[in-house]
Amino acid sequence: MGIRVGVAGASGYAGGELLRLLAGHPEFDLVTATAHSQAGRPVGAVHPHLSGLDLTLTATGPDAFADADLVFLALPHGQSAALANELPETVKIVDLGADFRLHDGGAWERYYGGPHAGTWTYGLPELPGQRERIANSARVANTGCYAVTTILALAPLIAAGVADPEDVVVVASSGTSGAGKSPKPHLLASEVMGGLSTYKTGRHQHVPEIKQATGAKSLSFTPVLAPMPRGILATVTARALGDADPHDVLKRAYAADPFVHVLEEDQWPRTASVSGSNSVHLQATVDVDSGRIIAVSASDNLGKGAAGQAVQNANLMFGLPETTGLQIYGVAP
């Protein structure tokens, strides 16, 4: 028998993507999926694309996961700790929420509000040494979607001394699934299609997470809502230090990583290329006028930005090949 897996918060978009990935995973057996208001409904009624998956959502709580070996938490920010504290230590947990990502409790309180729950192993295997830490952890905090997209472009450039950690400027556009499934007026199709807009301008909660993981000292981060269901495109700029080619730095940094692809020099990342996959595409150059490094990163916010990354971390935690049950190639066009 395989590894028994539960998903808490399975009715949202990240939860649905987890169910989709787990349904095709050769080692993880999806046994329990819980939800709040949707408890009691078959999965196919809540996620029509999963019609045929024989599973009914149950109420979220520790009993639902009594015989699970692995639990994914896909709950609203601030709700993970209460459930995690009631699960036995033998259960391995990947939290897709923000609760356990930050070392700095003060930053948590400034950006998220409420008390800081604590700090778990940060779930980004591509950071130096992090793959091993994750493999040895029973509790892992998955990355934020904007955060991982930005960090993968920025961290090696700062680490190599090529990009100045002072005055990093990021503008990143996300598809609408990143904003969740609650029906809010500004997320209506009529409002979103055919247009772009910024939001949380000047104060996005992924800023401290990106600074913590990259060493950036000052970070201006502007998120943009884009008319597409999935995908994040981050444009990351920082002053160049020295003459090293940022493309080469990225190429070397990720030479051994199965999910991070530094494109050939004439290609620039496109979110459509990684849709449905766990991959991230990267490219970088130096701006001819300003001399700033411009690094561009494309991810699927539900893939590497949420559910795919969570499965990658769980694979590591159970000693499985990192790519088990995950797609390297996106569904395009």
Residue 143 gets which letter from DSSP?
P
Please choose, out of 54-62, 72-80, 148-156, 221-229, the segment that lies near its own copies by the rule CB under 8 A: 221-229
Pick from 145, 98, 148: nearest CA to 125: 148
Pick from 9, 83, 76: nearest CA to 47: 9
With CB under 8 A as the contact rule, the residue among 167, 215, 244, 324 that binds its own copies is 167
Determine the Cα–Cα distance for residues 62 and 84; give it in Å rounded to an integer.
8
Which residues, numbered 260-279, are part of the site for its own copies (CB under 8 A)?
261, 263-264, 267-277, 279
Q: For residue 183, is the peptide bond before it cis, meaning its omega torsion is within 30 degrees of 0?
A: no
Which residue number, 64 or 234, has a Cβ lying nearer to its own copies? 234
Which residue number, 121 or 278, has a Cβ lying nearer to its own copies? 278
Pick from 319, 318, 299: nearest CA to 144: 299
Q: Which residue do the tokens 């604590």 mark?
A: 118
CB of 235 to its own copies, least distance (A): 5
With CB under 8 A as the contact rule, the residue among 25, 131, 139, 230 that binds its own copies is 230
- Residue 190: CB atoms within 10 Å: 8
With CB under 8 A as the contact rule, the residue among 54, 89, 243, 289 that binds its own copies is 289
CB 96 within 8 A of CB 142: yes
Taking CB under 8 A as the rule, which mask of x and - marks residues 126-165 in contact with its own copies?
----------------------------------------
Task: Spell out where 9-73 has E strands.
Answer: 28-35, 58-59, 70-73
With CB under 8 A as the contact rule, the residue among 44, 76, 78, 118 that binds its own copies is 44
Q: Which residue do the tokens 């969570």 mark?
A: 310
Residue 117 gets which letter from DSSP?
-
Burial level of 286, CB count in 10 A (0-12/13-18/19+)? middle
Please choose, out of 45-53, 90-98, 147-155, 305-313, the segment that lies near its own copies by the rule CB under 8 A: 45-53
Taking CB under 8 A as the rule, which mask of x and - marks residues 5-34 in contact with its own copies?
--------x--x---x--xx----------
Which residue number, 31 or 238, has a Cβ lying nearer to its own copies? 238
Q: Is residue 290 within the footprint of its own copies (CB under 8 A)?
A: yes
Q: Is residue 332 within the footprint of its own copies (CB under 8 A)?
A: yes
Q: Is residue 173 within the footprint of its own copies (CB under 8 A)?
A: yes
Tokens of 73: 């938490």
Active-site hit among 145, 155, 210, 298: 145
Active site residue 302: no
Which residues, numbered 299-328, are part of the site for its own copies (CB under 8 A)?
327-328
Taking CB under 8 A as the rule, which mask of x and - marks residues 185-214 in contact with its own copies?
x-xxxxxxxxxxxxx-xxx---x---x---
With CB under 8 A as the contact rule, the residue among 48, 88, 129, 319 that binds its own copies is 48
- For the chain, report the end-to-end CA distance as a whole number of angstroms: 37
Helix axes 145-159, 246-253, angle to 10 degrees: 110
Determine the Cα–Cα distance for residues 17 and 136; give it in Å rounded to an integer.
25
Tokens of 331: 């569904």
With CB under 8 A as the contact rule, the residue among 3, 135, 160, 228 that binds its own copies is 228
Q: Is residue 181 within the footprint of its own copies (CB under 8 A)?
A: yes
CB 287 within 8 A of CB 315: no
Which residue number, 130 or 173, has a Cβ lying nearer to its own copies? 173
Q: Which residues are catalytic?
A: 145
